[in-house]
Amino acid sequence: MAQINPLVGDIHGNTALILEKSREAITRFQPDLVVFPELVLTAYPPEDLLLRPSLDVRIEKALAKICGAVLPTILVVGYPGREEGKLYNMLALIDHGKVVATYRKQRLPNYQVFDEKRYFKKGFAPLVHEISGIQVAFTICEDLWSPKAMAKASAAGARLMININGSPYSLGKVHRRTEVMRQRVTEGKMPLVYVNQVGGQDELLFDGASMAMNANGTVAVQARQYAEALVPVNISNEGDSISILQGQQEILLEKEAELYQALVLGLRDYVNKNRFRGVVLGLSGGIDSALTLAIAVDALGSDRVHAVMMPFQYTAQMSMDDAQAQASNLGVNYRVIPIAPMYESFMQALAGEFAGMATDLTEQNLQARCRGVALMAISNKKGLLVLTTGNKSEMAVGYSTLYGDMAGGFDALKDVPKMLVYALAAYRNRIDSNPPGPIPQRVIERPPSAELAPGQVDEDNLPPYPELDRILELYIEQDESLEQIVSRGHDRSVVEKVIRLVDLNEYKRRQAPVGVRISERGFGRDRRYPITSGWKPGD
């Protein structure tokens, strides 16, 4: 099982990676078969790169190069292939340098983050090919989320199923996959080898966790999550019995570890694949920026992380002390840049425009925008990616400043609700080799505040975060109506306010940076609502 981290669109580089990993597998294991993930030549998802005129030529050259290597094994390679003028999501069996069989994906997902029907036509026929005396069936990802492909393969005489995947991560997805695959092997009465992509691609994260499962549903081989790996799978063929021998068994991570490592890998790959030197973020002394800093250091190393405290007259000394402590704990490049001179210059320039008008949110937003300007200037000068630090709860209700604290290129916490931010911060401290950990306990315990006005705390404007997060989960992730949410015991006026804020702030989210998707309804590819809309909440 070649669980690798390809780069979307880099067909030349992905081809080289396939050959490199194939040769390594041959040297280490002398395998009959090396299996790569879905669409590995383009990586998943290639999106509208599939519409580029040169796609077919590049794919043909890539396949020719792999065949030309004449490797002493069979390779299973996923790619976008055109046949009779139609584009398919395909795989090829390359046996000692020759394409001996191909397969077209039968089920094209078109929900959540998937839009394969935009690009591909679906196949219908199973592929069963004899390898080392075993009749082996081949399928691609979504094919096995329905019983039909397994049934077709079984009817065609298959005794082993190999399934290649570009299956993106969401919380708990690895366990749901395992249960679905367990249903398939039980129905098909045959073992399964399941190979998945690993790595970050914009907002999507692929967690790997490739596995091999016997016909009784037991997992005989389990690959790591979030890491590239070549994992041997030994298959026994004795009489009428095909079985997978017990092999490598990586322990699947618990919830908080799973989420934290997903955020680390998503951030690392976004920065590295886009060739940034490092990152810079505003360190406010609050929990969101504290957790983001820890994730950045774990992803990139402290030498590639720059943190900037940008105090104003409303910034508490506690915030400055805590920011300094965390920067010191993690050993990052740290600067303090007061924003008062910038703010006053803006206010002087705008004095005529604001004459006779009362102070309001404008002045608060201007503070945030001064900080955004400073961070973007550092980004331009030093080639660093600006990390924003807003969490999903804030992004949902628009508790953020457009072109202020939303100014940046990547938001690791974009799909992480506030209460989960607290849990992840506590987790990061818990696993640190130097107790009590990098995030000061006071940061975790103090009431959250944007510190844009005297004595300001978030709950001046929002419901308590435990209640807010529950309402948001019901409305955004479970698509419940106002009436359904109220029937669960929530105050109608609070629910109405939250829903109004979510709907109203779609325009902000459209302009927000990308971030790691950890739920099945992240803001971005998953949830596409109109900005201009007359829709009213209710029945």
Model's pTM, two decimal places? 0.94
Place of tokens 């400055």: 320
* CA separation for the pair 199, 208 (Å, rounded): 8
Q: What is the pLDDT of residues 262-273, one digit of tens each?
A: 999 999 999 999
Tell me if residue 192 falls in helix, strand or coil: strand
Q: Is the peptide bond before 436 cis (omega within 30 degrees of 0)?
A: yes
**What are the DSSP calls for 45-104, one per residue?**
--GGGGG-TTHHHHHHHHHHHHHHT--SSEEEEEEEEEETTEEEEEEEEEETTEEEEEEE
* Closest-CA residue to 293 (of 311, 278, 277): 278
Task: State the pLDDT at residue 539.
Answer: 65
Task: State the pLDDT at residue 538.
Answer: 76
Q: Is 141 labeled as catalytic in the residue annotation?
A: yes
Among the listed residues 21, 38, 116, 451, the single catalytic one is 38
Task: State the pLDDT at residue 322.
Answer: 92
Among the listed residues 21, 116, 141, 142, the single catalytic one is 141
Tell me if residue 290 falls in helix, strand or coil: helix
Q: Is 467 labeled as catalytic in the residue annotation?
A: no
Task: State the pLDDT at residue 231.
Answer: 98
* Closest-CA residue to 186 (of 164, 222, 221, 161): 161
* CA separation for the pair 467, 464 (Å, rounded): 6
Which residue ranges form the domains of the chain, and what is each CATH number?
2-252 (3.60.110.10), 256-510 (3.40.50.620)
Among the listed residues 47, 61, 98, 105, the single catalytic one is 105
Q: Is 105 labeled as catalytic in the residue annotation?
A: yes
Task: State the pLDDT at residue 111.
Answer: 85
Q: Which residues of the chain have pLDDT under 70?
A: 451, 539
- Kind plus residue range of the DSSP H or E element containing 18: helix 11-29
Q: What is the pLDDT of residues 490-509, one digit of tens each?
A: 999 999 999 999 999 999 99
- State the first-to-last Cα distance of the chain, in angstroms, to the nearest integer: 50
Task: State the pLDDT at residue 418.
Answer: 95
Q: What is the pLDDT of residues 80-125, one digit of tens each?
A: 999 999 999 999 999 999 999 999 999 998 888 889 999 999 999 9
